[in-house]
Amino acid sequence: MDNQNFKIAIIILNWNGLENTKECLNSLKKVNYSNFKIILVDNGSENNEGKILKNEYGDFITLIQNKKNLGFAEGNNVGIEKALENPEIKYILCLNNDTTVEIDFIEKALEKFNNPEIGMMAPKTMNYYKKNEIDNFGIQFTKSGLSFNIKNNNSRLFCPCGAAAFYSRELLEELKRRDGYYFDPDFFAYAEDLDLGFRARLLGFECLFAENSIIYHKGSASTKAMSDLAVYHTYRNIIWVLTKNLPAPLFWKYLPKIIIGQLAIIFLWILRGKSFLIFKAYFHALFGLPKMLKKRKIIQKNKKISIGDLNKFFTPRIFVKSYLSNLKI
């Protein structure tokens, strides 16, 4: 099979990240796969960054200029919608602007897309600054309702990390038909990749790890690692992910672990002096529950996977050691 026959669209968001975006685009210029297009979504950056990038890269990119920052979720949605206007596009890659790529990363990923049930692909994402250190191999989702980046390929892969995530056209179109969106725009940023992955799992789509497709990620270059923005949106959105997606039998089965996990999160962030922020996140999560419950009805009514099969994709533990060590409490 000649993988060059499969056209792919790469969606890149830029938000006040000119130099990172340039480095990302320059690395994409070197790839050995020619059948792709880049849709650059400038998310309301200052100083005319979108125009600067278009002037420098010309036809190498298709520029979409948003008047304001729509967030990671809706910003990507705008790019995906534009990409899927072209019927030749078979796959979408959502790629952070603070990444660089190996020259054969597309080719190695597409080797894995060999049946229609595979809707998601997680590349091997390494640390940009320490090339031999793992950034993530995708996302694992625990029975406590918390998600963590996978640091070894022995963990249960739930879905790709939004920093670098391949999706099939079939998956995205089915999500849009059912839910009315790709990434949930109400999330703004953080955990939107988990939500999309969960909805995809409920539709019966699979996710594979492309161990030979290598990307380097700087990590939270636009928002700073676990900034107040990240803490707030992550823990608000996790509640929404569970509300929308976790089937009732598994909710009641996992409830003790979910309670322990959420109490632990509150305690840990209180110790870090973020008590106001974490309670604000939970308050706003509760405020948004009526809207999320409406979305839940649609999602649960149309799920295709059995409870037993879905249960196999959850990691049994409550926490992951690497997460606790990264908090440095």
| pLDDT tens column, 294-326 | 999 999 999 999 999 999 999 887 665 555 544
pLDDT surpasses 90 at 32:
yes
According to the model, what pLDDT value does residue 3 have? 53
- 8 Å CB contact between 122 and 208: yes
pLDDT band at 123 (very low <50, low <70, confident <90, very high): very high
According to the model, what pLDDT value does residue 227 have? 86
Coil, strand or helix at 102: coil
Q: Which residue has the tokens 């997680």?
A: 122
- 8 Å CB contact between 251 and 134: no
Over residues 181-188, the mean pLDDT reads: 98
According to the model, what pLDDT value does residue 103 have? 98
What value does the mean pLDDT of the chain take? 92
pLDDT surpasses 80 at 225:
no
Q: How many CB atoms lie within 10 A of CB 23?
A: 17
pLDDT band at 115 (very low <50, low <70, confident <90, very high): confident
Over residues 208-217, the mean pLDDT reads: 96
Q: How many CB atoms lie within 10 A of CB 90?
A: 16
Over residues 18-42, the mean pLDDT reads: 97
pLDDT surpasses 90 at 191:
yes
Coil, strand or helix at 97: coil
**Residues sharing a CB contact under 8 Å with residue 146, sequence separation 6 or more, in sequence order:** 238, 261, 265, 318, 319
pLDDT surpasses 80 at 293:
yes
CA 31/CA 238 separation, integer angstroms: 35
- For the chain, strand residue ranges (E) read 7-14, 36-43, 61-66, 89-95, 99-101, 118-127, 134-136, 139-142, 147-149, 164-168, 206-217, 314-315
CA 266/CA 282 separation, integer angstroms: 9
CA 312/CA 256 separation, integer angstroms: 19
Amino acid at 263: L
> 246-267 pLDDT, tens per residue?
999 999 999 999 999 999 999 9
- Give CATH for domain 1-329: 3.90.550.10
Identify which of 144-148, 270-274, 284-288 has the greatest average pLDDT.
Answer: 284-288
DSSP single-letter state for residue 165: E
CA 291/CA 75 separation, integer angstroms: 21
pLDDT surpasses 60 at 222:
no
> 63-75 pLDDT, tens per residue?
999 999 999 999 9
pLDDT surpasses 60 at 38:
yes
